[in-house]
Amino acid sequence: MPLDHDQIELIRANIRGLVKEFDLEYWRQKDKKKDYPWDFKDALAKGGWLGMFMPEQYGGMGLGLSEVGVVLNELGQHCGFNANSVFQYYVFPPGPVIHHGSAEMKAKYLPALARGEIMMCFGVTEPDCGVDTSRIKTFARRDGNRWLISGRKVWISNAQNADRILLLTRTAPRDPARPFDGVTLFFTQLRGKKGAQITAIDKAARNAVDSNEILFESFEAHDDEIVGEVGKGFRCLIDGLNPERIAVAYTTIGLGRGALNLTVQYAKDRIVFDRPIGKNQAVAHPLADSWIRLEAAELMTQKAARLFDEGKPCGPEANAAKFLGTEAGFQACDRAMQYHGGYSYATEYHIERFWRESRLLKIAPISQEMVLNFISDKVLRLPKSY
What distance in Å separates the CA atoms of residue 165 and residue 156, rounded to the nearest whole number?
9
CA distance 248 to 370: 15
Minimum CB distance to ligand FAD smaller for 66 or for 373: 373
203 contacts ligand FAD (rule: CB under 6 A): yes
Draw the binding track, 100-139, toward ligand FAD (x: CB under 6 A; -: no contact).
----------------------xxxx----xx--------
CB atoms < 10 A from the CB of 380, how many? 8
| CA triple 70-269-84, angle to 5 deg | 20
Query: Are 166 and 120 contacting, i.e. CB atoms less than 8 angstroms apart?
Result: yes
- Secondary structure E strands in the chain: 120-123, 139-143, 146-157, 164-170, 183-189, 196-200, 211-221, 226-227, 271-272, 275-276
**Stretch in the footprint of ligand FAD (CB under 6 A) among 98-106, 110-118, 203-211, 342-350:** 203-211
Site residues for ligand FAD, window 345-364 (CB under 6 A)? Answer: 360, 363-364
Which one-letter amino acid corresponds to residue 46? K
Site for ligand FAD in 145-184 (CB under 6 A): 155-157
Residues 315-334 that bind ligand FAD (CB under 6 A): none
CB of 163 to ligand FAD, least distance (A): 15
Min separation Cβ 335 and ligand FAD, Å: 23
Does residue 200 touch ligand FAD according to CB under 6 A? Answer: no
Closer to ligand FAD by Cβ: residue 3 or 241: 241
Q: Between 155 and 330, whose beta carbon lies closer to ligand FAD?
A: 155
Q: Tell me which residue of 332, 341, 343, 192 sits closest to 261, measured CA to CA.
A: 332
Could you tell me the smallest distance in angstroms from the CB atom of residue 57 to ligand FAD? 27
CA distances from 242 to 63, 211, 301 (A): 16, 22, 11
Selected from 175, 223, 224, 369, the binder of ligand FAD by CB under 6 A is 369
CB of 322 vs ligand FAD, minimal distance in Å: 12
Q: Is 11 in the site for ligand FAD (CB under 6 A)?
A: no
Q: Which residue in the shown chain puts its C-beta closest to ligand FAD?
A: 130
Amino acid at 147: W
Cis preceding linkage at 365, omega within 30: yes
Which residues between 239 and 258 bind ligand FAD (CB under 6 A)?
none
Question: Quick check: 188 and 225 in contact, CB under 8 A?
Answer: yes
With respect to ligand FAD, which residue has the nearer C-beta, 43 or 370? 370
Neighbours of 367 (CB within 10 A): 16
CB of 262 to ligand FAD, least distance (A): 23
Binding region for ligand FAD (CB under 6 A):
122-125, 130-131, 155-157, 203, 206, 211, 360, 363-367, 369-370, 373, 386
